[in-house]
């Protein structure tokens, strides 16, 4: 599903160049539930952003769902690549962020429906689907509420509904429980597991051991390289997983 | 383009930032308002002066005799030159002259009277072809004709204001008025778009006037219509005329004071050039004002984009293409400029309408207005400027990397 070969990424910080990813190799199979851990500055968020096409990389190769993603900061093909990247983000990837990143002046339903708008789905169908997904999250009563009227857990579930509505193949979550208390965190984590059991690849960046323990594989980063790549105790091949959450 | 969601989004941002939107809109509305007022006033000025010109043909030369200031062939300077019927015929037969006529002002006692009504008016003794110089509109009856001239008939054509003053609504045709005590039969009345000065006049045949008012065979001015000659041809013609007259009347052809020629062709061109320059000037100023407005809108849009960076990042992570971001911002910008500009347009046109209704038309200012073409141009300018004002910030917004945009707080 996701293959990274010798990936390099560096940022310019003032005069200095900060080499964040130093020849990164990684392969993640379809249907895996993976957590990425590491201390701050180890490059875990950068890695996730590159996989999610939110950021560019300098060298190496990124293959996403069989597509070789060119470095879309390449100025020559930039427009074309930007469009392609937008399309991939829309169709293949769902994002869940630590700070939720809901649009503040849109209500819950509109926020959930947003990815469908960029897929060109009609308004009525969009709203109907958004309601369906809110129901799955148990949030149908909050459909007309603005994000600032909701609790952190509710906001994150809305963000997850938004990530799922475009039926992505990959869910990328960057510290999804970072702003939540521990019981809510566990609820959210259960949700991710459910999503994963429906066959969607889930990658979670976290620094909480409680969270990573729930995943099948833990990738621990240090200084831009993989320090450990541990298969976690409970893992089944994706085919054996029961289908609980049907998003289709 | 006509996407309900997009418009809803645009309206929701506008609603959240009322003051900012109003201030931006005002700068654009003001720009367009000024442009319309400037263009309208320019047009009014042009209208006023053109109206002066519509009173006369714009293809004639008016030739007047003066006093020589240079000795010529043994003749001393200071001689007063006067045209006679002979010179008129001579010039009228020149090649390139379409129509020729003579005109003398009668400087006798200028009192006109009909029954108990009296008035002092200009008395112009002219030949029939003079109608090609003044663009007269005959209201009643007819103008002077060749038979009137050949038969020395005592007939008169009255300006509209003369008719109103003497006849007070009575039908003047066939009645006799006294011109300096001599009865003349009214054969027609006329209107003249050139204004009131041309309407307080009467025309009588030149031949009659020469006899009745003891003017000998002298002619005050000779007027030549040159067909559709251009400025260069008219200037050549003036040289030919000077040479011709210099031989006949014995004066130095280079003498600047011997004869005076008013060249309406050249005057008209000068005036038209002046107006096209004024128009250009007005457009430059107007567009400058609008550019100031555009810069204002651009500035605001920059801030809008800055404020919405995170939102743009979210949208991009959801799969928004660069173009969808650009069009979102462009449309907001076009909406603000378009709407505000339209208000400015309406207010400008409204003020012009008010002015043209309240202000009387004078000789140099009449009917300030903008024609539909200008309104269309201005509207077009608005849409373009709105797009321009939004484009730079929009492109900037669309090119920000999503990860950078998302980090923005």
pLDDT at B191 over 80: yes
Chain A residues in contact with B322 by the CB 8 A cut-off are 79, 82-83, 86
Token pair recorded at residue B390: 């939004």
Cβ–Cβ of B318/A118 closer than 8 Å?
yes
**CB-based contact, B1 to chain A, within 8 Å:** no
Q: What is the pLDDT of residues B157-183, one digit of tens each?
A: 999 999 998 998 889 999 999 988 899
Q: What angle do CA A2, A7, A8 make, to 5 degrees?
A: 150
Question: How high is the pLDDT of residue A74?
Answer: 53
Side-chain half-sphere CA neighbours of B109 within 13 A: 9
Beta strand B122-126 with B201-205: parallel, antiparallel or unpaired?
Answer: parallel
For residues B112 and B119, the answer to whether their CB atoms sit within 8 Å is: yes
d(CA A206, CA A45) in angstroms, rounded, equals: 9
**CB-based contact, A56 to chain B, within 8 Å:** yes
Residues of chain A scoring pLDDT < 70: 70-80, 233-248
**CB-based contact, A103 to chain B, within 8 Å:** yes
- Higher per-residue confidence, B77 vs A239: B77
Token pair recorded at residue B171: 């039908």
Question: How high is the pLDDT of residue A234?
Answer: 56
Chain A residues in contact with B309 by the CB 8 A cut-off are none
d(CA A85, CA A91) in angstroms, rounded, equals: 10
Q: What is the pLDDT of residues B116-171, one digit of tens each?
A: 888 888 899 999 988 888 878 888 899 999 999 999 999 999 999 999 989 988 89
Cβ–Cβ of B16/A119 closer than 8 Å?
no
Q: Please, what is the end-to-end C-alpha distance for chain B in angstroms?
A: 30
Question: How high is the pLDDT of residue A241?
Answer: 52
For residues B199 and B162, the answer to whether their CB atoms sit within 8 Å is: yes
Q: Which residue has the tokens 């990684």?
A: A26
d(CA B291, CA B304) in angstroms, rounded, equals: 19
Q: What angle do CA A172, A174, A179 make, to 5 degrees?
A: 135
Question: How high is the pLDDT of residue A173?
Answer: 94
Question: How high is the pLDDT of residue B184?
Answer: 93
Question: How high is the pLDDT of residue A246?
Answer: 43
Burial B357-396 (b: 16+ CB within 10 A, else e): eeeeeeeebbbbbbeeebbeebeebbeebbbbbbbebbeb
> Once rounded to an integer, what is the mean pLDDT over residues B66-86?
89
Chain A residues in contact with B308 by the CB 8 A cut-off are none
Identify the sign of the CA torsion A99, A103, A105, A111: negative
Which one-letter DSSP state was computed for residue B360?
P
Residue to mutate among B310, B319, B402, B403, with most A CBs inside 10 A, is B319
Q: How far is B403 from chain A (nearest CA, A)?
A: 5
Helix A123-136 / helix A108-118 crossing angle, nearest 10 deg: 130
d(CA A16, CA A12) in angstroms, rounded, equals: 6
Q: Which are the contacts of B117, defined by CB distance < 8 A and separation ≥ 6?
A: B165, B166, B167, B168
- 318-337 of B, contacting A, C-beta below 8 A: 318-324
Element (H, E) at A173: strand A170-174
What is residue A199's three-state secondary structure?
coil
**CB-based contact, A77 to chain B, within 8 Å:** no
Q: How far is A235 from chain B (nearest CA, A)?
A: 30
Q: What percent of chain B has pLDDT over 90?
A: 15
Cβ–Cβ of A55/B16 closer than 8 Å?
no
Cβ–Cβ of A101/B317 closer than 8 Å?
yes
Who among B16, B318, B321 is closest to A83 (CB)? Answer: B321
Please give the model's pTM, rounded to 2 decimal places: 0.66
**CB-based contact, A86 to chain B, within 8 Å:** yes
Q: What angle do CA A232, A233, A236 make, to 5 degrees?
A: 90
d(CA A144, CA B5) in angstroms, rounded, equals: 16
Q: Please, what is the end-to-end C-alpha distance for chain A in angstroms?
A: 19
Who among B310, B318, B406 is closest to A114 (CB)? Answer: B318
Question: How high is the pLDDT of residue B364?
Answer: 66
**CB-based contact, A128 to chain B, within 8 Å:** no
Cβ–Cβ of B321/A49 closer than 8 Å?
no
Q: What angle do CA B250, B260, B145 make, to 5 degrees?
A: 95
Cα B167 to chain centroid, rounded: 34
Q: What is the pLDDT of residues B1-60, one digit of tens each?
A: 456 777 777 787 777 778 878 887 888 888 888 888 888 888 888 877 777 676 677 888
Burial A133-167 (b: 16+ CB within 10 A, else e): bbebbebeebbeebbeebebbbbbbbbbbbbbbbb
pLDDT at B323 over 50: yes
Nearest CA in chain B to A127: B5
Beta strand ranges found along A14-145 (DSSP E): 16-28, 33-38, 59-64, 67-68, 93-96
């Amino acid at each position: 599903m996701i293959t990274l070969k010798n990936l390099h990424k560096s940022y310019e910080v003032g005069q200095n160049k900060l080499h964040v990813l130093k020849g990164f190799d990684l392969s993640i199979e379809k249907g895996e539930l993976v957590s990425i851990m590491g201390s701050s500055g180890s490059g875990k968020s950068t890695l996730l952003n590159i996989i999610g096409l939110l950021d560019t990389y300098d060298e190496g190769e990124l293959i996403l769902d069989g597509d070789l993603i060119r470095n879309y900061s390449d100025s020559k093909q930039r427009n074309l690549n930007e469009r392609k990247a937008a399309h991939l983000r829309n169709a293949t990837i769902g994002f869940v962020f630590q700070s939720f990143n809901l649009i503040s002046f849109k209500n819950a339903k509109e926020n959930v429906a947003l990815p469908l708008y960029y897929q060109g789905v009609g308004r009525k169908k969009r709203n109907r689907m958004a309601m369906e997904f809110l129901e799955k999250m148990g949030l149908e009563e909050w459909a007309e509420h603005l994000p600032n009227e909701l609790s952190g857990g509710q906001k994150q579930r809305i963000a997850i509904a938004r990530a799922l509505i475009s039926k992505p193949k990959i869910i990328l979550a960057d510290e999804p429980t970072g702003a939540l208390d521990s019981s809510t965190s566990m609820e959210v984590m259960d949700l991710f597991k459910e999503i994963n059991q429906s066959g969607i690849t889930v990658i979670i960046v976290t620094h909480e051991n409680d969270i990573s323990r729930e995943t099948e594989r833990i990738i621990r980063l240090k200084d831009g390289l993989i320090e450990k790549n541990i298969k976690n105790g409970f893992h089944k091949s994706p085919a054996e997983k029961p289908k609980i959450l049907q998003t289709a | 383009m006509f996407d309900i969601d997009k418009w809803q989004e645009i309206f929701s941002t506008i609603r959240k930032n009322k003051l900012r939107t109003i201030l931006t809109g005002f700068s654009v509305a003001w720009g367009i308002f000024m442009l319309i007022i400037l263009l309208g006033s320019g047009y009014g000025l042009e209208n006023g002066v053109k109206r002066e010109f519509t009173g006369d043909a714009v293809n004639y030369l008016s030739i007047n005799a003066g006093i020589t200031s240079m000795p010529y062939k043994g003749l001393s300077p200071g001689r007063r030159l006067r045209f006679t019927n002979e010179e008129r015929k001579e010039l009228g037969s020149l090649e390139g002259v379409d129509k020729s006529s003579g005109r003398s002002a009668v400087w006798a006692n200028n009192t006109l009277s009909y029954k108990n009504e009296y008035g002092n008016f200009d008395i112009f003794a002219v030949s029939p072809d003079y109608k090609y110089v003044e663009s007269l509109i005959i209201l009643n009856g007819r103008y002077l004709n060749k038979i009137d001239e050949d038969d020395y008939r005592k007939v008169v054509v009255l300006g509209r204001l003369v008719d109103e003053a003497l006849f007070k609504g009575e039908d003047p045709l066939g009645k006799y008025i006294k011109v300096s005590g001599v009865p003349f039969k009214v054969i027609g009345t006329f209107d003249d778009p050139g204004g009131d000065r041309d309407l307080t006049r009467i025309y009588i045949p030149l031949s009659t006037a020469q006899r009745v008012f003891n003017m000998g065979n002298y002619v005050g001015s000779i007027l030549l219509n040159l067909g559709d000659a251009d400025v260069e041809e008219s200037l050549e013609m003036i040289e030919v005329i000077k040479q011709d007259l210099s031989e006949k009347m014995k004066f130095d052809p280079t003498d600047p004071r011997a004869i005076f020629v008013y060249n309406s062709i050249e005057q008209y061109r000068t005036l038209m050039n002046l107006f096209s320059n004024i128009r250009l000037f007005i457009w430059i100023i107007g567009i400058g004002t609008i550019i100031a407005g555009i810069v204002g809108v651009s500035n605001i849009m920059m801030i809008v984009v800055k404020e919405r960076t995170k939102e743009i990042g979210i949208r991009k992570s959801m799969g928004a293409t660069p173009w969808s971001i650009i069009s979102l911002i462009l449309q907001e910008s076009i909406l603000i400029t378009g709407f505000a500009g339209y208000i400015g347009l309406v207010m400008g046109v409204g003020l012009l309408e008010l002015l043209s209704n309240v202000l009387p038309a004078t000789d140099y200012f009449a009917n300030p207005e903008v024609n539909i073409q200008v309104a269309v141009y201005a509207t077009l300018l608005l849409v373009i400027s709105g797009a321009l004002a939004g484009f730079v910030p929009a492109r900037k917004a669309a090119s920000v990397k999503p990860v950078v945009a998302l980090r923005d707080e």
